Structure 1
Amino acid sequence: MSTPKVEIYTKMYCGFCHRAKRLLDQKGVNYEEYDITLGGPKRQEMLDRKPDAMTVPQIFIGDKAIGGSDDLAALEREGKLDAMLGL
């Protein structure tokens, strides 16, 4: 099974961002982190990918928008996250 690309849009000093990254780190998942603290093109990219995104983190597994830290944790609790990550 191939491992999908995992991307996470974050901001500095964001506790929810740290929580989501900690879960991914615990699972040994490699991810690309985009810091959008100061806005810029990556913030616009996030909004293009998920127009209703109002908070960070915003997490994408493959091309699927997962949502934020609570959504990621819910997938873990439901036993669905490992399959999505190809683990």
Structure 2
Amino acid sequence: MKLFITGDAPRSRRARANLAQALETVGSDLGDVDEIDILTAPKQALDHGIFASPALVAAAPDGTTDVLYGDLSDMDRLVRFLGFSKAE
């Protein structure tokens, strides 16, 4: 996964925190997430078709990708995006 952020902007900070919380909820960590700052690496955003940040990009084994834009504050949606089901 790749998390595209814009420096230390408030929405980028919230996206980091929300992603960390979701991964913790499902028993994973940020170790598998590459964080890319579009201020210092704008070409990577262009290469991945990212037009806004924050944006979380997940790649499937078949090579397809999916993108979730925003500060990742909708925890249920984020957990579904990550491919996990929330424990009841």
TM-score bucket (shorter structure):
0.5 to 0.7
Q: Secondary structure at the match of 1:33?
A: strand
In the alignment, structure 1 residue 58 sits paired with structure 2 residue 58: no
Aligned-CA RMSD value: 2.0
- Number of equivalent positions: 72
In the alignment, structure 1 residue 12 sits paired with structure 2 residue 11: no
Write the letter of the residue equivalent to 2:16: K
Contact 2:38 2:45 in 1 (8 A): no
TM-score (norm 2): 0.64
Q: Percent identity?
A: 21
Q: What is the match of residue 83 of structure 1?
A: 80
Change (3 A) 1:81 1:14: same
1:2-57 superposed Cα distances (whole Å, 9 cap, x missing partner): xxxx211122221100001101111224221012323xxx4222123225x1x322
Q: Secondary structure at the match of 1:80?
A: helix
Q: Which runs of 5+ in 2 are unaligned?
A: 60-64
Where in structure 2 are the equivalents of 1:1-80 lying within 5 Å?
A: 6-27=1-22, 28=24, 29-30=29-30, 31-38=33-40, 42-50=41-49, 53=51, 55-62=52-59, 63-69=65-71, 72-74=72-74, 76=75, 79-80=76-77
**Poorly superposed stretches of 4+, deviation over 4 Å:** none
Q: What is the match of residue 3 of structure 1?
A: none
Contact 1:50 1:65 in 2 (8 A): no
Contact 1:16 1:57 in 2 (8 A): yes
Q: Secondary structure at the match of 2:73?
A: helix
Tell me how far apart the structure 1 counterparts of residues 70 and 58 of structure 2 sit (CA, whole Å).
12
Q: Which runs of 5+ in 1 are unaligned?
A: 1-5
Q: What is the match of residue 62 of structure 2?
A: none
